[in-house]
Structure 1
């Protein structure tokens, strides 16, 4: 029998989402739906599952049945969980609690009869007791037996010119759209009329939603309109009160049904991800002001959405929920999060429940996850099943579930789910009218606000057949332009899911806002003509020819001009060639920090080979692996490392020493034959690798040439510049120190090997040689800045104009610290893989920008 009830509930929920209501009358299932909304296939499905629906509807009768208590109507009664959350939340000194839950709308209509409208308001107040409800200081609510006569405010601005009217109406909206009322005083609503012309009024509605939910708003406006249009309209009084309903609903808490639901949610919270983590600014102290964004889809598109949802075997609400979830994932810090889903939970405890005004809202915490092997069609079906399974336990309020989540996480009382998804597509199935605003005229503006909510998504079916997608967002919490970008993408995403069935076969939809597309296009429009393709050696030789006497390398007491460095490299190349090493071979550089590394790299390129930088402090086993894996045929080493070099598995070990000018150099014809081509291998750098073994990254000349020329041009680095070469040769950042600076015609300043980690030595070198460029991992710069902070004397290294940081996380205070010493210097945050010489991305950091 349980499986029949479950199947019946699944179908009941599916039909409810499509605005189809059902009632058990005797032994028959009575179906209520708007004309032409039930297809033949759906009708057949209902008939085939009649027994399942009957068993489920019978099980619903296990809910307590409301017994009207007219004598106690005006006695205090407890707030529901959600009402108490709104009431307490507004009073708490926590983030986003400086607003009350509030609805505001403006409707442009034909001139209203003020007397008739006022009478209609009085009749509506008399019919619905919760319009006369207040909350006392102890947090109990009470329906007032007597209230002062309510007066509709009227203003006439016909005498103002158009500009004056615009200003007046703007100020009027600003004052009323975020108004707050004391829950302890009547009324909790406000209607006003502004006459803008002889033929037109604007009807303003402002309602505190503590006692009135979304469905109740529809009932309120519908009754108000019917009382206004027809003076003879005199419906039967509602035999039950919201007080009766609330007490009956509270009695469920002692039932087995409630305990089953509580057990379900206690297990569920163990696996709930956090709320969406969108980029936010640290502006919590600023007053909360909601801003509305909305778009409509046509009746045809709305009908297509419903057909697409039916094809996917989901409800239209879940269709939209999937679209919103995919949108959030694009801006969220991770793929998984929990969505706070509003449900209008009118329990069928009396035939007249759907006529009541009150707060029937609850919330479901729905986990949203992303599986890269899952299509959107698979994902939306999984989301539907999760929503249905959660709906079975909706008798446990979302507030209670949040408390359980807080207990489980050890954060009780501080768990917030500020991003909310609300769908009012299914309210028609509860007999609630959908033309609640359009009956008076054309809706001009609407805004909702909720305490401890920053982002409220709403989807509504309009009487015209259109669907309205709207967001109410506290925009100042988010980076400038972000919400607009998100909304633009959301509209495109919704339309793509409606109109393109192939989109559901994809894992995700890659849609960017136009503003970002333009930024990306502009950023990628970076083609520069650097002349004919060439090698890194060609760049160096160009600098040699342009300024042979300029200083190229400083390393301790050894200084090389470009001509001297070129001679040393060619002389060493002669030794390499003498060993019959073929062009294209890999030659290792096994050296400590020093000028010899520069000569070795250039000599290897002169010989038409690629260099492999080794870390002399690595174990022999790791070095041997790199040599064997790369098929290196020789090692260039410093004299004092000869014995270590000879233990490594290569055929040739060649010492690099300072050569006299009389030493022979290769014949130019020989060097020309060995000249590296742009597509030849320049070097290999071994990284840690993801498999536990070092991974050799092979880098060609042409990609490094492009990067070096781009950096030098982009940051105006030239012959007058100098870099302090702190980075070890086996790290990819060293590539710029060597080839970038020599291509610019600048000076490479190398620390002494025994002082290479001494910031005092760095400062001395920077001062003595007017170093302008710093290029390192952030940790080295922190060491330097920490040292400078301890010095009382004036800073003498004042030539720095640029700091490029990469290879690790950059401390958020580092840009400001650099700015304090070198206000004129640029701070560049950079990154990228070794394969592309690391600087794929960069950000020129504003020192005044705040990071967290």
Structure 2
């Protein structure tokens, strides 16, 4: 290895340092980090300095940046060049640098990995003499404060000797062993294989871990999935077998499989008569109800693609989605057809129940499994929704897997609590119908009412629950509060879409004896779900419920930035592959290309979720959340969910939410908000938080506080002010109190005073006939008093009003002048919104 190093102008220590850095980068979340290097810094301060026995070592901090793709030779040369440059500053030790960082940042920056090499320290004779004088080395250990891992290298009789001293308690079990084994193999390859010196991506993953990952993603082919199956086709198969069985139970009516089929076929013919054909996009705009099931089946039977749109969205949002999805046909309910506004080019069809419906003419099948089944719009990080295009094949694969894996049959009944525009509804409808089961549909007005859910579960013998954890938590809390014992038929709970509280599975099992609780995960972009974990006993040391292992015909990968499998315990990006992947985002090739990629080595098509995860030793994947949900405080990245999980382990805590807030100097600190347990023991007075002081809890005192109206500023009659003109319908303003929406619009021309007055009128007092106290559209928390509103008005931006700081008086609807406006007023106080403020005529603060 030394001869190879000399050939490329590298030292032996440089080679080992580069290899060590490669291993550290591979087992780290980031390839950019700092190593402490030990220097033998015997300065020539005295002619006899070489005769002194003592510790002349110091430390230098070396930056390692392996984010740049390069061969091993290039990485080693770049690292050695950086080291030579840093050594020019060795008179300032790494300890002093860390101290200075602490002074500037207010916190200690731990850099706990050390590399110590004595290669080339002296000639071999002197080195042999030192070793022989001390005798044969049989054991050694170094222990240094703030050092987590110390890599020591020396040469003895031509052999390379090295060891790692570490605080093993800081690392997960076997992680250091895997790293050290990989490092040894890496050095062996460098010594014997010339090709590895020119490789850009060294193979460092231990063979046993690679085997586990490969087994994890060995695709389990589902025999029932063929290229011919579609979502509506699965339903039609069940119609032939159980036409008289109940398919859907709604508050108004029940539908058998045959009745549901005939209504769907009738709608399909109607859509085709209006010009719908294969690939036509048809929006389904409906409240929760049996009509939704008829609508999506009818659209699919016509060979079209359904796009669910929530009727509760603002009109502008609805119209935007209709335009973006290129909708010309909408299936809706009669009440919504009458109450909603529709674009002129849209033609609406509404579903009606016909108790005497006859046998409809069979619809010729025009679509295949590779055609689009639905497009669901999800929120985009830019504020523009993304239309996720899912084909029949992907969705069919998922629901058949779930039904087979968890034994969902015709004896099951599923409570459909999810909204149609949320992809859990795809399983509620098509998964249930594919199994020959029955869909139980809540009343639209009570769709989020746990009392209504419990009534339906008991009344209709619901056996399968499918929702986000928060809805199950609501059901558990409501059910637990009932005074009479409950006997429920639930046997399977599918939870997905968010973190599952660690105590929730046990709470579920305490109510439903023998229930199977399953965690499911994935992305809308991968056909509902891609990964599962049956939840048995919850380990008290867990930070979260494991994400699990991939479903059939799907793959899950945790990859580092080089698109290689991350080692066990090491965070990486989660990628999904397999049959469930969406075709992309509707009319957004740029986003599709960014998120749906080809693996550079395997060429497998993958979806980049943007989530972080890591492999566990048993082959399961642990979900770590999104990287942007983490916070960085004092140089450390912190996962807030981990703190929440720790708080929840305390018997005194019922619920916990943790956030990071910043003070006026942008210094962040972690704040936890907790809901105490109802059964907490009596504690000494000192244990209760002092922040409770001053909170008004007595109802009479709250009314007296309101009557005082402390939020209003006391004005002197001599205050200079401007009476604002008011020309507004009081009734309209009253109605606006009950229905509020906010808008933002900037104009280039100066704002007229009447228009400005109307804008501020939303802050006026409102006197309501049946209310003894005035009301406000924007009061304080708890509606105790109006907030004080101040405005910074810019020069020549508001007609007739000079620049300055004003107080707005809601009782008199007037502006009260406070002070003049300086040139620097408002500079850099709005952070990321500063550019928006610069465009506006004025800004407000409360």
Which of 791-800 and 720-729 deviates more?
Answer: 791-800
| Aligned match for 1:321, one of 17, 34, 51 | 17
Question: Are the counterparts in 2 of residues 803 and 825 from structure 1 also a CA contact under 8 Å?
Answer: no
TM-score normalised to structure 1 length: 0.57
Question: Are the counterparts in 2 of residues 435 and 463 from structure 1 also a CA contact under 8 Å?
Answer: no
Mapped pair 1:364 → 2:54: no
Mapped pair 1:489 → 2:182: yes
Residue 256 of structure 1 aligns with which residue? none
Superposed, which structure 2 residues align to 1:174-213 within 5 Å?
none
Residue 431 of structure 2 aligns with which residue? 740
Unaligned 5+ runs, structure 2: 544-641, 643-846
Query: What is the distance in 2 between the residues matched to 1:469 and 1:618?
Result: 65
Mapped pair 1:530 → 2:224: yes
Residue 530 of structure 2 aligns with which residue? 840
Superposed, which structure 2 residues align to 1:479-628 within 5 Å?
479-495=172-188, 508-509=201-202, 511-525=204-218, 526-533=220-227, 534-628=229-323
Q: What is the CA-CA distance between 1:624 and the residue it aligns to?
A: 3.0
- Secondary structure at the residue paired with 2:84? helix
Question: Are the counterparts in 1 of residues 372 and 390 from structure 2 also a CA contact under 8 Å?
Answer: yes
Query: What is the distance in 2 between the residues matched to 1:825 and 1:329?
Result: 44
Unaligned 5+ runs, structure 1: 1-300
| Aligned match for 1:467, one of 156, 160, 164 | 160
Residue 364 of structure 2 aligns with which residue? 672
| Aligned match for 1:456, one of 134, 150, 158 | 150
Query: What is the distance in 1 between the residues matched to 2:477 and 2:102?
Result: 42
Query: What is the distance in 2 between the residues matched to 1:824 and 1:588?
Result: 41
Question: Are the counterparts in 1 of residues 494 and 520 from structure 2 also a CA contact under 8 Å?
Answer: no
Query: What is the distance in 1 between the residues matched to 2:133 and 2:67?
Result: 45
Residue 386 of structure 2 aligns with which residue? 695
Residue 115 of structure 1 aligns with which residue? none
Question: Are the counterparts in 1 of residues 305 and 374 from structure 2 also a CA contact under 8 Å?
Answer: yes
Q: What is the CA-CA distance between 1:374 and the residue it aligns to?
A: 6.1
Q: What is the CA-CA distance between 1:611 and the residue it aligns to?
A: 0.8
| Aligned match for 1:656, one of 351, 354, 360 | 351
Q: Cα gap change, 1:826/1:635 in structure 2, threshold over 3 Å: closer, same or farther?
A: same
Residue 685 of structure 1 aligns with which residue? 376
Q: What is the CA-CA distance between 1:642 and the residue it aligns to?
A: 0.5
- Secondary structure at the residue paired with 2:97? helix
Question: Are the counterparts in 2 of residues 684 and 696 from structure 1 also a CA contact under 8 Å?
Answer: yes
Describe the superposition over 1:712-735 as per-residue Cα deviations: whole angstroms up to 9, x where unpaired: 222333233333322221122222
Query: What is the distance in 2 between the residues matched to 1:459 and 1:349?
Result: 28
Question: Are the counterparts in 2 of residues 335 and 370 from structure 1 also a CA contact under 8 Å?
Answer: yes
Q: Cα gap change, 1:511/1:609 in structure 2, threshold over 3 Å: closer, same or farther?
A: farther
Mapped pair 1:759 → 2:450: yes
Superposed, which structure 2 residues align to 1:625-640 within 5 Å?
625-640=320-335
Question: Are the counterparts in 2 of residues 327 and 486 from structure 1 also a CA contact under 8 Å?
Answer: yes
- Secondary structure at the residue paired with 1:322? helix
Which of 553-562 and 650-659 deviates more?
Answer: 553-562
Superposed, which structure 2 residues align to 1:253-292 within 5 Å?
none
- Secondary structure at the residue paired with 1:672? coil
Q: What is the CA-CA distance between 1:614 and the residue it aligns to?
A: 1.0
Query: What is the distance in 2 between the residues matched to 1:427 and 1:792?
Result: 79
Q: What is the CA-CA distance between 1:684 and the residue it aligns to?
A: 1.0
Q: Cα gap change, 1:350/1:775 in structure 2, threshold over 3 Å: closer, same or farther?
A: farther
Mapped pair 1:427 → 2:121: yes
- Secondary structure at the residue paired with 2:456? helix
Q: Cα gap change, 1:680/1:446 in structure 2, threshold over 3 Å: closer, same or farther?
A: same
Question: Are the counterparts in 1 of residues 128 and 156 from structure 2 also a CA contact under 8 Å?
Answer: yes
Q: Cα gap change, 1:358/1:679 in structure 2, threshold over 3 Å: closer, same or farther?
A: same
- Secondary structure at the residue paired with 2:420? coil
Query: What is the distance in 2 between the residues matched to 1:563 and 1:576?
Result: 20
Question: Are the counterparts in 1 of residues 262 and 357 from structure 2 also a CA contact under 8 Å?
Answer: no
Which of 557-566 and 513-522 deviates more?
Answer: 557-566
Q: What is the CA-CA distance between 1:641 and the residue it aligns to?
A: 0.9
Q: Cα gap change, 1:823/1:361 in structure 2, threshold over 3 Å: closer, same or farther?
A: farther
Query: What is the distance in 2 between the residues matched to 1:735 and 1:529?
Result: 21
Query: What is the distance in 1 between the residues matched to 2:517 and 2:85?
Result: 53
Q: Cα gap change, 1:475/1:684 in structure 2, threshold over 3 Å: closer, same or farther?
A: same
Query: What is the distance in 2 between the residues matched to 1:351 and 1:785?
Result: 81
Which of 523-532 and 346-355 deviates more?
Answer: 346-355
Query: What is the distance in 2 between the residues matched to 1:747 and 1:463?
Result: 79
Query: What is the distance in 2 between the residues matched to 1:354 and 1:554?
Result: 93
TM-score normalised to structure 2 length: 0.58
- Secondary structure at the residue paired with 1:767? helix
Q: What is the CA-CA distance between 1:609 and the residue it aligns to?
A: 1.1
In terms of fraction of residues, the more helix-rich structure is 1
Q: What is the CA-CA distance between 1:703 and the residue it aligns to?
A: 1.4
Residue 727 of structure 2 aligns with which residue? none
Aligned length: 540
- Secondary structure at the residue paired with 1:483? helix
Q: Cα gap change, 1:528/1:443 in structure 2, threshold over 3 Å: closer, same or farther?
A: farther
Question: Are the counterparts in 2 of residues 722 and 772 from structure 1 also a CA contact under 8 Å?
Answer: yes
Q: What is the CA-CA distance between 1:813 and the residue it aligns to?
A: 4.4
Q: Cα gap change, 1:505/1:759 in structure 2, threshold over 3 Å: closer, same or farther?
A: farther
- Secondary structure at the residue paired with 1:730? coil
Q: Cα gap change, 1:357/1:686 in structure 2, threshold over 3 Å: closer, same or farther?
A: same
CA RMSD of aligned residues (A): 3.3
Query: What is the distance in 2 between the residues matched to 1:642 and 1:315?
Result: 79
Query: What is the distance in 2 between the residues matched to 1:562 and 1:830?
Result: 28
Describe the superposition over 1:825-851 as per-residue Cα deviations: whole angstroms up to 9, x where unpaired: 444443323221142233344542221
- Secondary structure at the residue paired with 1:428? coil
Question: Are the counterparts in 1 of residues 302 and 365 from structure 2 also a CA contact under 8 Å?
Answer: no
Q: Cα gap change, 1:591/1:376 in structure 2, threshold over 3 Å: closer, same or farther?
A: farther
Question: Are the counterparts in 1 of residues 409 and 436 from structure 2 also a CA contact under 8 Å?
Answer: yes
Residue 802 of structure 2 aligns with which residue? none
Residue 129 of structure 1 aligns with which residue? none
Residue 580 of structure 2 aligns with which residue? none
Which of 343-352 and 403-412 deviates more?
Answer: 343-352
Question: Are the counterparts in 2 of residues 485 and 515 from structure 1 also a CA contact under 8 Å?
Answer: no
Q: Cα gap change, 1:377/1:550 in structure 2, threshold over 3 Å: closer, same or farther?
A: farther
